Structure 1
Amino acid sequence: MTSPTRLGAGETAPDFALPTDTGETLTLKELRGRKVILYAYPAAMTPGCTKQACDFRDSLASLQAAGYEVVGISPDKPEKLAKFRERDAITFPLVSDGDKAVLSAYGAYGEKQSYGRTITGVIRSTFVIDEEGRIERALYNVKATGHVAKLRRDLGLD
């Protein structure tokens, strides 16, 4: 497998219709008219992914006050996402991309470096999508810890 194709500012964000942690289906199209922060993470209930989700949870009120909706995406099954939501009081939608098609379309699945080895997996990434469904920012290989604070600064919220 080769490195995934990465998205850039101004490109149309790939639409999706994915099952959520509540068993419903969420589409990007239904979020039109609002700014969206879509963040891709490797696996629910792992230490780094939990820290990142809790950082988004703890910043959700101020992000929403600035007009942003937050959505987390991973290849986890909806049942695991529901456990994650309940265990850590996650207050925004988590969507399941079991076949990794949406993650791949966003360039957030493919070859990456992990502890000096090349592996294939989810590339921790964050996408800021504008009200018309265009990529405002595409951030790849972000850190689990400190990323939300940096994103808030970059968006002028702090």
Structure 2
Amino acid sequence: MVAIGDRAPAFSLPASNGQTVESEALGGQPYLLYFYPKADTPGCTTQACDLRDQKQTLGTLGLRVIGVSPDPVDKLDRFAKKYGLDFTLVSDAEHELADLYGTWVEKSMYGKTYFGMERSSFLVDAEGVIRAIWRKVKPADHVALVTEAASEL
């Protein structure tokens, strides 16, 4: 599991709009890597739309936003189109990146346990170093936390 001050793990994953996102190409610009359980569900939609609505503020801070879920790319494309999400959504179907960040965790609901994505975010600076981590973040609080931390980069 990563910690503040660690180098962000390298990755290359398929993304929305037919893109591939590679960590090497992110150098020189800070980014927010946010992990969410499932596209087009209430909490994930709230979180994504808040990020969309604050894109100008985050952009002023030079911050690129990248959402990561286990959903397939076609579902991410539909999610982005439905809500006008103009940032990158990455498919981590095999939870390779989630494993590196420690966000693929055991969960329980109605007495059953299963593995799924923990809603967590990582702020990475322009040199590729993790500067802030929010685990089990509440969707409604997310953007304010990110904006405050990003303004200190």
Compute the TM-score of the two structures, normalised by the length of structure 1. 0.89
Question: Alignment partner of 1:76: what SS?
Answer: coil
Give the 3 Å change call, closer, same or farther, for CA 88–118 of structure 1 in structure 2: same
Pair 133,154 (structure 1): closer, same or farther in 2 beyond 3 Å: closer
Partner residue, 2:124: 129
Amino acid of the structure 1 residue aligned with 2:103: A
SS in 2 for 1:22: helix
Letter in 1 for 2:54: S
Determine whether 1:40 maps to 2:35: yes
1:107 to 97, 102, 108: 102
Q: Provide the alpha-carbon RMSD of the alignment.
A: 1.7
**1:10-29 correspondence runs (5 A):** 10-29=5-24
Q: Which runs of 5+ in 1 are unaligned?
A: 1-5
- Structure 2 portions without partners, runs of 5+: none
> Percent identity between the aligned chains?
40
For residues 36 and 69 of structure 1, the distance between their equivalents in structure 2, rounded to whole angstroms, comes to 4
Whose helix fraction is larger, Structure 1's or Structure 2's?
2
Question: In 2, are the aligned partners of 1:7 and 1:138 still within 8 Å (CA)?
Answer: no
Contact map agreement 2:31 2:64 (CA 8 A) in 1 = yes
Whether the 8 Å CA contact 1:13–1:133 is kept in 2: the answer is yes
* AA of the residue aligned to 2:133: A
Q: 2:45 aligns with which of 46, 50, 53?
A: 50
1:84 aligned onto 2:79 = yes
Deviates more, 1:135-144 or 1:44-53: 135-144
CA-to-partner distance for each residue in 1:114-151, whole Å, 9 max, x for gaps?
57765421010000001111111121111122211232
Number of aligned residue pairs: give it.
Answer: 152
- Please, which moves more after superposition, 146-155 or 8-17? 146-155
TM value normalised by structure 2: 0.92
Letter in 1 for 2:95: K
